Structure 1
Amino acid sequence: MTRWKGLHGNGSRRMVLMEKRHWRKNLPEQTQQTEVSKEAKKNLLVDAVGIPLSIVVTGANRHDAAVLDELLKERMKPLDFEHYEHITQNVCLDAGYVGKADVASRHGMVPHIRPRGEEKKAIELHGFRPKRWIVEVAHSWFNRFRKIHVRYEKTACAYNALLYLAAMMITMNKIMAIYPPL
C-alpha cells in the first residue's frame, strides 16, 4: 500500500511504501477458525452464584461439547485443599453434552444433564431455581464490557487477558454485593 509522500516542482508525484506494521496471518496462538466463521465464542464454567471459574475461547463454529475437557481442566480450585477432595462437585449441562458425561466424571464431577423442555416444566413448581440460566446471566455480564462483546483484538492472548480482567471485575462485584465495605 502506498501513499503520497511529497510533490516535486515539475508536477510528478513521489510514491513511498507506508510504514504501517502489518500483523502476521498465522500466529501460533490464534483461535482455531475456518473460512466460514471469523468470530470467537466464550465458553464459561460458573459456580452456583454465577462467579466465573473457567473461560475458554474457541472459534464460533465449534460445538461447546468439544471443549468440555479443556473447560473443566482450567477451572479454579477452592483454597481449602484439605476438604476439597471430600466435597462432591456437580456440573449442570444442557442437552448438547449428552455424550460427554464420562468427561465430567473423569474430572471428579457428577454431571446433571437435562434437556431444555424438562426445565421449563419444572419452573411451575414452587421454589425451583433454574441452574443453567445462571450461565446465561454470566454471559450477559461479560457482554456488558464493550471491548469483549465485539472482539477487536487480533491475538488470542490479548482477548484472554481482557476476559480474565472482566472475570475478576465480575467476581469483585459479587463479593462486594455479599460483603459491603464498612
Structure 2
Amino acid sequence: MSDDLVPDDLWERIAPLLPPQPERRRRHSGRLRVPDRVALAGIVYVLRKGVAWRDVPAGLVGCSGVTAWRRLRDWTEAGVWPRLHTELLVELRNTGLLEMDDCAIDGSHVRALKRGDHVGPSPVDRARPGSKHHLIVDRRGTPLAVSVTGGNRHDVTQLIPLLDAIPRIRGLRGRQRSKPKRLFADRGYDYDKYRRLLRKRGIKPLIARRGVAHGSGLGKTRWVVERTFAWLHQFKRLRIRYEHRADLHQGLLELACSIICLRRLRTSF
C-alpha cells in the first residue's frame, strides 16, 4: 500500500531531503521506528482521502495516524516541503516544461472547522471561520508558490508576498528565474498602487479593471490558475481546513503542489 501512495519517483526525490533518523541509544530500547516511506504514505493517505488522522487504517497504510501526523510536523518544521517543490520546479525548467514569462494569480476560500492561525470570518460564507489559499502559476498552470491566510484577507494583500515566495529556479542555461514578465489577475487585484509595484519589479501587470464590461480577453491566459485550484482541491484534505496549525496546512498545500509538478514530469516522458 505504501508503494501505491508513495511511488518510487516521489520517494527518490524526497528521501534525500528528510532529516536524519535519530540513533537508538540502547539495543532493544522500545519499539522500532516506523520507516519514513511508510509514514509518508500515511500523510499522503490523509491528503488524498481527507480522513481524520485518528481514522488512518494502520493495517492498510502501515502506520498509525498519530505517527503520520508527528512526521508531518517534524518534516514541516525542517522545511522539507518547500525544498521538494523547488527541486521539482528545477526539473520542470530543465526539461522545458516551465513557462514563467506569463503567470496568473488568484485566491480561493475554504472553510476552517477549527480555530487557529490564519483563520478569519469569510466574506463569502456568512462570516463563518475560513481560510484562503493564494496561488501563483505559470502559463501551463504549474504551481510556483502557494500560501494560506485568514478568510478575511483581501487577495491583493498577498500579491507581493506571493511573488517573493517564488523560489529562484535554476536552469541548464541562463540565469535563475524568480519572477514572470507578465502577470495576469482578476478584478480583485485592480489597484494602481500594486500596478506601480509590479512595474518597478519589471513585471507588466495585466489586471482586469473594475466597472468594465467582461470580455477583456485576459481570461484566455488566466483560466489556468482556476484549473490548478481544481487540481489542488482534488486532494480532499485541502477542500476544508482541519489543521489547527497553519504551518501544517501550508505543508500539505506544498506537498500537493509537488505531486502536481511530478505528474507534469511524468507526462513529459
User: What TM-score does the superposition give when structure 1 sets the normalisation length?
Assistant: 0.69
| Among candidates 223, 228, 234, match of residue 133 of structure 1 | 223
Name the count of aligned residue pairs: 145
Determine the C-alpha separation between the residues in 1 that align with 2:115 and 2:181. 39
Residue identity over aligned pairs, in percent, reads 27
Larger Rg: 1
Question: Does 1:75 find its partner at 2:166?
Answer: yes
Cα distance change on mapping 1:130 and 1:55 into 2, 3 Å: same
- Aligned residue in 2 for 1:9: none
- Aligned residue in 2 for 1:174: 264
- Letter paired with 2:189: Y
Cα distance change on mapping 1:56 and 1:105 into 2, 3 Å: farther
User: What TM-score does the superposition give when structure 2 sets the normalisation length?
Assistant: 0.48
Q: Which has the higher strand share?
A: 1
Root-mean-square deviation (Å)? 2.7
Compare relative contact order (CA 8 Å, sep 6+) and give the higher one, 1 or 2.
2
Question: Does 1:97 find its partner at 2:189?
Answer: yes
Cα distance change on mapping 1:174 and 1:88 into 2, 3 Å: closer
Deviation at 1:135, TM superposition (A): 0.4
Alignment of 1:1-182 (within 5 A): 30-31=117-118, 33-34=120-121, 36-80=127-171, 82-84=174-176, 89-99=181-191, 100-115=194-209, 117-119=214-216, 122=217, 130-177=220-267, 179-180=268-269
Cα distance change on mapping 1:74 and 1:88 into 2, 3 Å: closer
Cα distance change on mapping 1:69 and 1:37 into 2, 3 Å: farther
Cα deviation code 1:139-177 (max 9, x no counterpart) = 000010001111111100110010000000001111211
Determine the C-alpha separation between the residues in 1 that align with 2:237 and 2:115. 23
- Letter paired with 2:155: D
2:220 partner SS: coil
Cα distance change on mapping 1:74 and 1:167 into 2, 3 Å: same
Cα deviation code 1:67-125 (max 9, x no counterpart) = 1111111012321384357x962111112212121232243322111347124xx49xx
Determine the C-alpha separation between the residues in 2 that align with 1:70 and 1:50. 19
Determine the C-alpha separation between the residues in 1 that align with 2:120 and 2:168. 30
Determine the C-alpha separation between the residues in 2 that align with 1:145 and 1:88. 27
